[in-house]
Structure 1
Amino acid sequence: MRPQKTLDKDVLVGLTEVFQSKGYEAASLQDLATATGLKKASLYHRFPGGKKQMAEAVLEHLAKWVGENVFQVLRNSEHSPEIRLKNAMVQIKVLYDDGKNTCIFRALSMETGISLFRLQIEKGMKEWLNAFEAIGEELKLDSKTAKDYAYQSMIDIQGSLILTSTLNNPQIFEEALQRIINRYLT
């Protein structure tokens, strides 16, 4: 078997960029092929389930990245909860490229995407909420406040991504992440 010229990670990065920028419905096979550097036939060879399987692979790839780089940071008991929260915000900045990237959940929840990926998106959102709620409880917030802060943190992240993109102002995303830190630590 010949070695793959294009690494799986590079393929996933290309697929992610297309789905983030165009959503599921508008992402054409040509867009996906161009972004990955593969021919359409090679793309189908790697993903026989077509565009749906490609989007599922992106969701899985990003879930793994978030698990390792955000959730594990929030749970790392070697550091204080305050440090973990701040470190997680740094990783969230990386994930969203300082607010330039659209959240994959948003991108895939438009039109047909929501019916295809509802369970994965719902599971992912619950994981985010649980992680923020847990750090709130570690910071000695009562369970209702920790839950409220978790929801508000997700609203801040998602809303600031939309505003950052629409107004072309990365400061909005930066300030939203700082508000999250301030909310938990004051």
Structure 2
Amino acid sequence: MGRIAAKQTYIPTLLRLFRQFGYEGVTLAKISQATGLGKASLYHHFPGGKAEMAAAALAEVDLWLETSILPILSSKVKPIEAFELMCQEVSLFFNKGENDCLWAVLLLEQSSKNLFDSQINRAFSRWIEAIANVLITAGANEIAAIQRGEDAVITIQGALILCHGLKDFTPFQRVIKRLPQQLCQDI
């Protein structure tokens, strides 16, 4: 197995660890234990150390956005169908609310704040813009469409945070179910 292919096998584990413990909380010892790699092997695959490992996990979230969410929102289906499919993918990716959002975890930590802010900003902006474009195409005005896109992402992110605080994932599932109708209201 080539170095790149081998490196890819560890990314789901890195994503899980950074979601669970954040940038500060993930130690090389935890990564080594979870991947089964010694420190030397970790640095072989990720010469940039923990920052490169976090970047690889973040790239996986960005890939999900690029391959699972944005294509749905740029498809030629009815807006309600696009938003229902988007919400299904969101629910799947966040395991019905049980998985933390890596974007939020990294943004809220001071130690990783400047490392990933622009990449996360770009991802959120693209998602909001894609939602807004669906609404604009359906006849909504641009300002209202952008605000609804922002509200949708706020709803998803807020539900994730609330569910983890409550240790109850039903609020996430409820808002994901309602979100397509809310987005399409009055269009």
Match of 1:100 in 2: 98
Q: State how many pairs are aligned.
A: 183
Map 1:1-186 → 2, pairs under 5 A? 7-77=6-76, 79-109=77-107, 110-186=109-185
One-letter code aligned to 2:149:
A
For 1:112, what is the secondary structure of its paired residue?
Answer: coil
Any conservation in 1 of the 2:15–2:60 contact (CA below 8 Å)?
Answer: no
Task: Tell me, in whole angstroms, the C-alpha distance in 2 between the residues paired with 1:52 and 1:37.
Answer: 19
User: How far apart are residue 81 of structure 1 and its match?
Assistant: 2.3
One-letter code aligned to 1:53:
E
User: How far apart are residue 36 of structure 1 and its match?
Assistant: 2.1
User: How far apart are residue 9 of structure 1 and its match?
Assistant: 3.8
**Distance verdict in 2 for CA 1:111–1:46, change over 3 Å:** same
User: How far apart are residue 72 of structure 1 and its match?
Assistant: 0.7
Task: Tell me, in whole angstroms, the C-alpha distance in 1 between the residues paired with 2:151 and 2:177.
Answer: 13
One-letter code aligned to 2:95:
D
**RMSD of the alignment, in Å?**
1.6
Q: Which runs of 5+ in 1 are unaligned?
A: none
Task: Tell me, in whole angstroms, the C-alpha distance in 2 between the residues paired with 1:3 and 1:158.
Answer: 37
User: How far apart are residue 181 of structure 1 and its match?
Assistant: 0.9
Q: Deviations over 1:12-59 (max 9, x none)?
A: 010001100111011100111222232221111000000001111111
Any conservation in 1 of the 2:80–2:184 contact (CA below 8 Å)?
Answer: yes
Runs of 4+, deviation exceeding 6 Å: none
Task: Tell me, in whole angstroms, the C-alpha distance in 2 between the residues paired with 1:168 and 1:139.
Answer: 37
State the identity as a percent.
27
Task: Tell me, in whole angstroms, the C-alpha distance in 1 between the residues paired with 2:136 and 2:34.
Answer: 42
